[in-house]
Structure 1
Amino acid sequence: MDVDQRLDIRSSSSSSSRSSGSSATSDNDSDIEFTVDQDDASKRSAALDPLAWAPVLVAVVAIPTDVITVLWGCQHPHIDCNIGYPTLGVAARHRPQLYVYLVGTVVASVLFLATAALFAWFLHLSLPPTHRWLAISVLLGGALTAILLVVAAIHDTRGHPAGLSLASATSFLTTWVTLLRMQHARRTAFLLLRTKDATERHHRIRGIAIGEYAIVLGAIASVAYVVTALVTSSSAWWTKLLGPAAYEGLVVASWSALVASFATEIGRLSRLVEQHDLEALSRQK
């Protein structure tokens, strides 16, 4: 009887050890699977959609257009860059840099309209119905800004210089209003739509911060541009490097950085559309 009891005790202990080992193994496997799922989710949230290239291309086109037009204008005999660099309006009056300005502005306007439309779609899917008017205002502002920029680009600068000044001033103000509206809308969407993904939340906060810095830089450059444009004396030492052309280029760069920062929202538009479609299907069932 003692031998039988010993065998029973050993068999029960071995079975319990095997069961505990299998449960520990299953727990480890579940932990590994959970970690892998978390890694996959973070990778998916960090990856941006190809649509995010639309706002980035605005900066890629706008900044070189400004620089090439101004520097190429220095080659014209009517422009003396030893005194000061010309502004876009002055440099674009002459050929061949006029064609660079025309093509670059039209392409940047189309890309900006696409950016505004995609961001308006993002807002339409993200915001509650009480705030979806922000999406409509962004879309209308983007369309108006793009139209005015194209009008300023194709306007006859030699025959009607006053019309160019009016179109440039109107497009300048409209661009500022539209960009400020877009920045306000993205902050509203971030506050109302709290995402649980830490990576996505970090990227959106970084995009909002870049937009805020770009707005401050652009506002300072805009004021400096107006002040230096009102200075009639060209003998000051700072008129060449710190003249209206430099501050105008800084405004274009700040606008471009602000528009490019919207890639953080537009890059997640496809996943947001898929989520919206799945929710619609679940409600139908």
Structure 2
Amino acid sequence: MGVSTTSPEEGIAVVTVDVPPVNALPVQGWYDLAAAVRGAGSDPGVRCVVLTATGRGFNAGADIKEMQRTEGYTALVGTNRGCYEAFAAVYDCEVPVVAAVQGFCVGGGIGLVGNADSIVASDDATFGLPELDRGALGAATHLARLVPQHLMRTLYYTSRTVTAYELHRHGSVWRVVPRERLHAAAMELAREIAAKDGLLIRLAKASINGIDPVDVRRSYRFEQGFTFEANLSGVSDRYREAFVSSRSSKPSQLSEPSEPPDPSKGGSR
């Protein structure tokens, strides 16, 4: 369990998150993920990184229970810094990062996939930011990389989710496949990228980051300031405590959206 890195094929590194029950990462988990992605990208033999996860969902964000059982703001500050490091590690990875997303991808998961270079998703994948319902703010920077501006705002204000099919229509998800085909589809794309020259692919990544209209690191850090303000006001703690209390009888459901939408019907939640 935790974060691991494997090299299944020449030129490809696979970074896997395995933090049961729902891949809600504690403070150290975010730092471990950042170190793994940076390490994989700095390996001169790697030309593409696949970011994946085990279990029912890709990522359920931060471990809210850890925040609530920790005195003071230590866990909150640690989570904010850890998320910042993990999101930046994906964005700054020296080679392209392909995110392979299954099930729920919420909160911090949006920060990861929003900073990835390409996304392959299973047909049961859903994406969203329940931050306002958890007494938090942040990652609008990354959601804005997945959907148009007005849709981002609506999703943010309502805490609704969208399906992989909807993101595919917006062009942010490369392919949507059955869950059993997810790994193969991600590896297929990674293999095509990894076939390029190692120096050229690194130059391509650096040049594309250099022309980004938004500095995702600075933009996200700006958002985090409002998270601290919400916490100092006391409102965040009330929402987190209510969330933890509502889930105490169902720990396996922590941070997971209640009912994945029917992909055939479309529409956001």
Name the structure where strand makes up a greater proportion of residues.
Answer: 2
Q: Which has the higher helix share?
A: 1
User: Under a length normalisation based on structure 1, what TM-score does the superposition of the two structures give?
Assistant: 0.29
Question: Larger Rg: 1 or 2?
Answer: 1
Higher RCO structure, 1 or 2 (CA under 8 Å, sep 6+): 1
